[in-house]
Structure 1
Amino acid sequence: MASLGMGVRVAGVESTELSVTGESVQQLYSDYIQNRFLINRRYQRKLVWAVEEKQKLIDSVVKRLPIPLILLAESQHEGMARLEVIDGLQRLNALFSFIENEFPVDGKYFDLETLADTKYAKDHGSLTQSEPVWDRSACRDLTNYQLPVSTYRSASESSVDEVFRRINSSGRHLSLQEIRQAGSTVEIAGLVRRLSAAVRGDASLTDYVSLQDMPKISITNRELDYGIFDAEIFWVKHGILSRDAVRESRDEELVLDLLLDLVIRPLAPSGSEYRNAAYGDERGSSTTSASAIRSRLLTIGQGEIERRFMETLDLIEETLDVAGAPYSSWTVTQQNPRGVPRHFHALFVAVAQLLHDDQQKVKSKESFAAALKGFWDKDLSVPGGGNWGSDRKSSLIEAVKGYLRSHFEPTQNEHELRLQEHALQFESTLRMSLTEEALFELKQGFCRINAASEFDKGSFEKILKIASAMANTRAEAKGVIFIGVADDATDAAAIERFSGVQSHRIADFHITGTQHELDAMGKSIDEHFRWLIDAIKNSKLEPRFANSLASTLSPFRYRDYVLWKMEPAALNSPVMYDGKFFIRNGPNTDEVTGAGLIEMVRRFPS
């Protein structure tokens, strides 16, 4: 198919060149394995197609039916030319995952011998042929199928955002919340995006994720070897929202409503008009306008609001773990027509106010769980859909607080608060390592597994060298190093054998903590913290970076484990360790020499 080039103007932004071509599935797959496709998670947040939907797309290709246009934008990312997927994420993933044998169509799998790329992967063990196999000629026809592809060249971020909003708002492919969220730059949108992804478990360290990595954080309706099983997402697991509601981003709408009630005082009404206003719709309420929210966030701090949200949700989830039952059946024991999202909303805001406005803490999760049993069978009026007026909402939340207050008590223990890392935030950050290997590192501890009383100086120096390499990744890079997490079941088993510590598993990670090492060394957390600060500052790191890194060291508790976190951040120029420069290539740390030094310096334009 011939290429068509044209200039377009979008919403008053600069002119961009648009080319429309026919691209074969084979050519697109070649771009895919070369890691050219990039996903911007400011608007493309989830992979949500079920296997059945993917099979329907393959069936359409087989029957030579037209497939909607794929819309891309040329961009540069980390020094490489990429194709940002504006529209067509689900379709591209369906095609490529079928080619790689992740699911069958009509009970048969794509023949990996059809393409040179898949044959190579099969021969080298990165792909495995499933049986039975499609006819080779049918596979060849599929890979020769031409898809219409439009590519924006010289497109700015704002024009890409606007195009995405327009093509989805006109065709209503997206929910109202997804349209609000798509490319929005207001502060509340960033909070909604980060917190929603943390709760679902599909968070990523940066806004940009390779299409190859997206399946690792996809939402699936089957327990596959990758991705997030939708039945295990907090909202679905506890009967607060349905699977379909999460797929349509109703969870983000609920998170938005909860955040507005953490930020705005007095409480504002809840409803579409107020949500729209929060995203800058000037026709909406001034009470929840973007400017009003911005002012409150500046006063309280985005980080503080994020902390309050996570702490509240953690307490509710840990209490339900004690109850051993999902939220919906535990809190409502009688037939009840009232909306579960609304009464969860009321409970959440009431608990948040007790924790943060009233400076209370729960006396016991066991007694709190008992208090929540059949809670919504009480004579509490919870409205259904539509707008929720501020007066009715406020009176309900005050009533909920009245019922729960006896299960809380004042807290002023700053030491314990400093050690408290929010469980959801930690789990979310840990999962980010699936898509950002270069900026994550996990270590099982400070000591050798078979000698918990002896600090392993060589291993710690290796951690510091890795930190310097993370800081050299690119300008504004920020890495994460967790100590107390084994990424290998063998190490976790060895720690249990030598120290008696049973690990807690999250995905393929094993939480072992470092308390057994502190006990063996005869140190308190504070003593070890001060010692580590001195060790970092007196290490082989150059002083300016050593001081920066030391300021990020923090111990924290997750469940009953004591862990440690460092967040190495790029400075305005590359940093050295022991007089040498290092860089991260995936999970590996390599010394940079020769021409590589020039390339590294170019990553720091200032």
Structure 2
Amino acid sequence: MPISLSINSESIQHIYVNYTKGFYLINRRYQRKLVWSIEEKEKFIDSIMKKFPIPMILTAHSKKEDENHVEILDGMQRLNSIISFIENEFPVNGKFFDLSSTAQTKKYMEENLLIQKDPKLSLDECNELLSYPIPFSIYSADSPEKLDEIFRRINTGGKTLSQQDVRQAGATGDVVDVINSCSAEIRGDCSHSNYIDIRNIKNISISNKKLQYGINIDDIFWVKNNIISNENIRSSRDEELVAYIISYIIDENKSDNTSYFLNSLYKPESQLNEEFTLSLNRKGLDNVNKIFSFIIHEIESIISHCGKTFSSLIYDRKNEKSKDVFQIIFIGLYKIIIKENRRIVNYMNLSNSLDNCFNLHLKSLSRKDRITKNERESLSDSIAGLIRPHTSERDTNDNPTGNSIYRLDNILTASYTEQNCYDFKICLTEISAEHNKDVTKVISKIVKTISAMINSTKEECYIILGITNDAKSATQYEEIYNATHNEYKKFFIFGVDEEVKTKFNGSMDQYEQKIISQIEKEPISESLKINIKRGLVSFLYYGKTIYMFKIKRISDNPEAYDEKFYIRSSSHNDEIKAASMMAFMQNFNSD
């Protein structure tokens, strides 16, 4: 089927109705960051209110996608601005949208899902806004490759984009995927899959203190450590830095430090891209991701031990060439920890050795526009020499990336985008007046939920112990265990430590053994039991022990729990009834 195109106009009121029905999808291969500032959103809405013309929203149907959805190719920021203004997230010219202007917003207001803020626009002004016609185009294409080409042309056809944005426009492939994944992991705007309902995108948007949602740009690793500025994050300069680092991990001999190199790396038809893709597949996508995460974790550990930011540790005055300096220090750590298989034994002493290292060891960078490949190598060798005395050899069987570094903040953020793939349990004991109940009931609920999750999706799913997003449960838990918690967004993070101390004699081994022994008794297949046990991991989050079930479908057949089949619907497990069984089974037959 050739590409077809329809162009029409949609009123803002009709767009909002479609939005509430989940009509618009964001494909993060094309649209990764929601980055418009409040000022940019206000200016856009003001243009609409003044009846100025605005650019067309470009969308696409693809053959494999549901007919009831369209992907946003260009216009995500504009659509979000419209929705955000209607839902009272910001005013324009000092006034908010009147929520009583539409049946849907009025209903949301009555259900306390939206709160009216004052002062507000008149009903006539709101109705004029709602009737404004937004130009819309819908492409129909029979392959993702055609959509990739459309997106590339849209985003390189005369717009003012950063050099990295131009590279990324429609770029696909394993190398690009691992760069994007690592970049999102550091920023914190991770999502469960590439397809996100636009209703959920604001939860992972790059925001600021003026907005009460998303990820505060000032809290992003790069910004709070004064490595990359706010504006450069919005221009994807962080992804450019990550691309240089990832390319070095994949193949240090072919990796370079020039714009020409990156331009070629991002072209899927280039020989360089083919060579790096082969090298990446030999090394393993997951392994490269783990190496990157591990070194970032070590850098965070170094700066946390000395109580400084990255820049205040490395520089004694104004920072210079911060992206190049970060890359050199990262590579220095990579050489010691990964290539030489050594471990840091004294973070405080290491931070002392790195103190003011720009002036002492890297000052030559200030005289150069960009460092060469050879200079990067020699300078990172110098940094490796500073690091080595504070390390010791690892055992040959001790793989530094064998235990994944779990960035819990990212997992919690991603849960907003696909709720049926996540569940949270504050403890194994039911929170009630009878909190001494046997824990087996909660473990059974967990296992049943796991069976429902993997019957619902082929994506990775998580059940996390020691966390709740329910304020009432958090209060009850505090009263029962006299426990303290950390908060992240709407999550209360207690860890399992107090429960282990009270119910399991302080023994994490007893706690874990109880979980494993109960899994063995559950009415599920033997293969699912093995899968669940393999996916059980624990890690520390700000000194609190978190247990997590990380599970993914490994069978071509659905999984039964006690001879019944369930699927996950939001936060509930729904049993498949006889009338729906054939359609349910076809989901597996078509995989």
Q: Which TM bucket (shorter chain)?
A: over 0.9
Confirm or deny: 8 A CA contact 2:443 2:519 kept in the other structure. Answer: no
Deviates more, 1:386-395 or 1:32-41: 386-395
Confirm or deny: 8 A CA contact 1:314 1:423 kept in the other structure. Answer: no
Within a 5 Å distance, the mapping from 1:573-584 to structure 2 comes to: 573-584=557-568
- Secondary structure of residue in 2 paired with 1:73: strand
Confirm or deny: 8 A CA contact 2:294 2:401 kept in the other structure. Answer: no
CA distance in 1, matches of 2:41, 2:191: 24
Deviates more, 1:232-241 or 1:478-487: 478-487
Confirm or deny: 8 A CA contact 1:443 1:483 kept in the other structure. Answer: yes
- After superposition, the C-alpha distances for 1:202-231 in whole angstroms (9 at most, x for unaligned) are 100100001110111111133422111111
- After superposition, the C-alpha distances for 1:380-427 in whole angstroms (9 at most, x for unaligned) are 222677553221111000011112221222233968968954143x32
Corresponding position of 2:70? 83
Confirm or deny: 8 A CA contact 2:291 2:401 kept in the other structure. Answer: no
Corresponding position of 2:101? 114
Structure 1 pair 303/62, CA: closer, same or farther in 2 (3 Å)? same
Structure 1 pair 194/455, CA: closer, same or farther in 2 (3 Å)? farther
**From 147, 152, 176, the counterpart of 1:165:** 152
Which residue identity does 2:486 align to in structure 1? Answer: H
| Residue 160 of structure 1, CA deviation | 1.4
| Residue 29 of structure 1, CA deviation | 0.9
| Residue 282 of structure 1, CA deviation | 6.2
Which residue identity does 1:391 align to in structure 2? Answer: N
Structure 1 pair 443/225, CA: closer, same or farther in 2 (3 Å)? same
| Residue 242 of structure 1, CA deviation | 0.6
CA distance in 1, matches of 2:62, 2:565: 28
Within a 5 Å distance, the mapping from 1:184-333 to structure 2 comes to: 184-266=171-253, 268-280=255-267, 289-333=272-316
CA distance in 2, matches of 1:52, 1:118: 24
Deviates more, 1:103-112 or 1:554-563: 554-563
Confirm or deny: 8 A CA contact 1:444 1:512 kept in the other structure. Answer: yes
- After superposition, the C-alpha distances for 1:46-94 in whole angstroms (9 at most, x for unaligned) are 1111111111111111111111011111247885620111111011111
Deviates more, 1:477-486 or 1:449-458: 449-458
Confirm or deny: 8 A CA contact 2:250 2:276 kept in the other structure. Answer: yes
Deviates more, 1:18-27 or 1:270-279: 270-279
- Secondary structure of residue in 2 paired with 1:562: strand
**From 539, 547, 552, the counterpart of 1:564:** 547
CA distance in 1, matches of 2:530, 2:391: 40
**TM-score, structure 2 as length reference:** 0.92
| Residue 133 of structure 1, CA deviation | 1.1
Say whether 1:22 aligns with 2:6: no
Within a 5 Å distance, the mapping from 1:79-478 to structure 2 comes to: 81-266=68-253, 268-280=255-267, 289-335=272-318, 338-380=320-362, 381-382=364-365, 387-412=370-395, 420-424=403-407, 426-448=408-430, 456-474=439-457, 476-478=458-460
Which residue identity does 1:503 align to in structure 2? Answer: H
Confirm or deny: 8 A CA contact 2:6 2:137 kept in the other structure. Answer: yes
Within a 5 Å distance, the mapping from 1:3-18 to structure 2 comes to: 15-18=2-5
Corresponding position of 1:48? 35
Which residue identity does 2:227 align to in structure 1? Answer: I
CA distance in 1, matches of 2:339, 2:436: 43
Structure 1 pair 493/385, CA: closer, same or farther in 2 (3 Å)? farther
- After superposition, the C-alpha distances for 1:333-352 in whole angstroms (9 at most, x for unaligned) are 1345x311110110111112
Confirm or deny: 8 A CA contact 2:290 2:401 kept in the other structure. Answer: no
CA distance in 2, matches of 1:149, 1:534: 57
Confirm or deny: 8 A CA contact 2:535 2:550 kept in the other structure. Answer: yes
Structure 1 pair 290/51, CA: closer, same or farther in 2 (3 Å)? same
- After superposition, the C-alpha distances for 1:90-131 in whole angstroms (9 at most, x for unaligned) are 111111111111111110111112222222222232222111
Structure 1 pair 335/222, CA: closer, same or farther in 2 (3 Å)? closer
- Secondary structure of residue in 2 paired with 1:132: coil
Confirm or deny: 8 A CA contact 1:454 1:521 kept in the other structure. Answer: no
CA distance in 1, matches of 2:274, 2:370: 22
Deviates more, 1:209-218 or 1:520-529: 520-529
| Residue 17 of structure 1, CA deviation | 1.4
Deviates more, 1:447-456 or 1:513-522: 447-456
Confirm or deny: 8 A CA contact 2:354 2:386 kept in the other structure. Answer: no
Which residue identity does 1:472 align to in structure 2? Answer: N
- After superposition, the C-alpha distances for 1:11-49 in whole angstroms (9 at most, x for unaligned) are xxx512100011111111111111110000011001111
**TM-score, structure 1 as length reference:** 0.90
**From 569, 575, 587, the counterpart of 1:591:** 575
Confirm or deny: 8 A CA contact 2:484 2:494 kept in the other structure. Answer: yes
**From 455, 465, 473, the counterpart of 1:483:** 465
| Residue 433 of structure 1, CA deviation | 0.7
Say how many residue pairs are matched.
586
Corresponding position of 1:11? none
Deviates more, 1:518-527 or 1:389-398: 518-527
Structure 1 pair 314/453, CA: closer, same or farther in 2 (3 Å)? farther
Corresponding position of 2:57? 70
- Secondary structure of residue in 2 paired with 1:38: strand
Structure 1 pair 334/407, CA: closer, same or farther in 2 (3 Å)? same
Q: Percent identity?
A: 31
Which residue identity does 1:362 align to in structure 2? Answer: I
